[in-house]
Amino acid sequence: MNNPKTLIERALSSKAFAGLDIDEIGDDHLYSGLETPLRADAFEQSDTEKKEQIAALFEQIMHVMGLDLTDDSLRGTPMRVAKMYIDEIFSGLNPANKPKVALFENKYEYGQMLVEKNITFYSNCEHHFVPIIGQAHVAYISSGKVIGLSKLNRIVQYYAKRPQVQERLTNQIGTDLQAILGTEDVAVIIDAKHLCVSSRGIKDDTSATVTSFYGGQFEQTEKLAELHRYIYG
């Protein structure tokens, strides 16, 4: 197993984070690129093996914190956490879980923007592993193909279900939809609350973070204003 200290020292020595310490990387909301950082061997273990290993490690964490793992309420917690990590809140790490998307001919000849707004999602901050709770608004203009409405929600959820930074999440959804739909005319707006801001650190419970991705026609002032009218009224 890799030495955690060695991994941290290696990250801090990279060009992206040169001169920063660990707390600065987390609190300043930095991230290293569009792709979620994954090792080359990330999927060599089966999900069952990962759950068993996570459960064992989380049991150690609970033990270090002084919790009594013989208590009926706590006994099953390590495996519950392991299952939650692999099967639920971080299931978007595994490409095998990416939603299957079918495109259809735009037989309605609908040439205006389609907006799917108020898509609720739950993600987790990759700096502190605490929740990000928000809504995504997704829009596109068909170039001849259309996608089922529920697939827009599923794509948002897929990228949300991994340790994330909101800026990366926004760009991942936008660029993937451009590739799937074969058009640059895609927009994504995310409005989210970060518990790493509200429950720790500065402890600001009223602020929210908004990020956006605009491509193609959505970079035009008129289209952008139209999109905002649909979303915000």
Catalytic machinery residues: 125-128, 166, 194, 196
Sheet strands (E) in 50-130? 103-105, 113-125
Cα distance between residue 45 and residue 91, in whole Å? 14
Four-residue CA torsion sign, 50, 56, 62, 64: negative
For residue 166, with 0-12 CB atoms within 10 Å meaning exposed, 13-18 middle and 19 or more buried, which class applies?
A: buried
Cα distance between residue 134 and residue 194, in whole Å? 9
> What does residue 43 show for φ and ψ, rounded to 5 degrees?
-120, 25
Q: What does the block give as tokens for 126?
A: 């990759």
160 neighbors 99 (Cβ within 8 angstroms): no
